[in-house]
Amino acid sequence: MLLEFGARNFFSFKEGFTFSLELNGNCPNSISKGRKTANIMGIKGANASGKTNVLRALSFIKYLCTDSYNSAPKSEIPFDNFFGNNDPTDLFCRFTINGKNYLYEVSLNKNEITSEELSFDETEHFIFKRQLDKLVSVDKEYEELNQIRIRNNVSIIHLAKQGEFDSLEPFFAFFDNILTNVTDSGLSNYHLDKSLICENYKKNYPERFANVKNILKRADTGVVDVKIARSLSLKGETQYYPVFYHNFNGKDYAVPFWHESSGTRKLFYDLALYYDVLDHGGTLLLDEFDINLHPNLLPMLIDLFDDSEKNLNNAQMIFSTHDTAIMDRLGKYRTYLVNKENNESFGYRLDEIPGDILRNDRPVSSPYRNGKVGGVPKV
What pLDDT, on the 0 to 100 scale, is given for residue 188?
66
Q: What is the mean pLDDT of residues 36-47?
A: 95
What pLDDT, on the 0 to 100 scale, is given for residue 243?
96
The overall average pLDDT reported for the chain is 92
Amino acid 318 reads: I
127-177 residue pLDDT tens: 999 999 999 999 999 999 999 999 999 999 999 999 999 999 999 999 999
CATH number of 2-190+268-370: 3.40.50
SS3 of residue 309 by DSSP: coil
Query: pTM for the complete prediction?
Result: 0.93
Q: Residue 378: pLDDT above 70? A: no
What gap in Å lies between CA 2 and CA 86, rounded to an integer?
30
Q: Residue 338: pLDDT above 90? A: yes
Query: Where exactly are the structural domains of the chain?
Result: 2-190+268-370, 194-260
CA of residue 101 relative to chain centroid, distance? 19
What pLDDT, on the 0 to 100 scale, is given for residue 44?
95
CA distances from 141 to 82, 105, 122, 146, 166 (A): 38, 20, 18, 11, 11
What gap in Å lies between CA 140 and CA 109, rounded to an integer?
30
Q: What is the mean pLDDT of residues 45-64?
A: 95
255-289 residue pLDDT tens: 999 999 888 998 999 999 999 999 999 999 999 99
Which residues on neighbouring strands pair with residue 244, listed in sequence order? Answer: 226, 255
Q: How confident is the model at residue 361 (pLDDT cuts 50, 70, 90)?
A: low
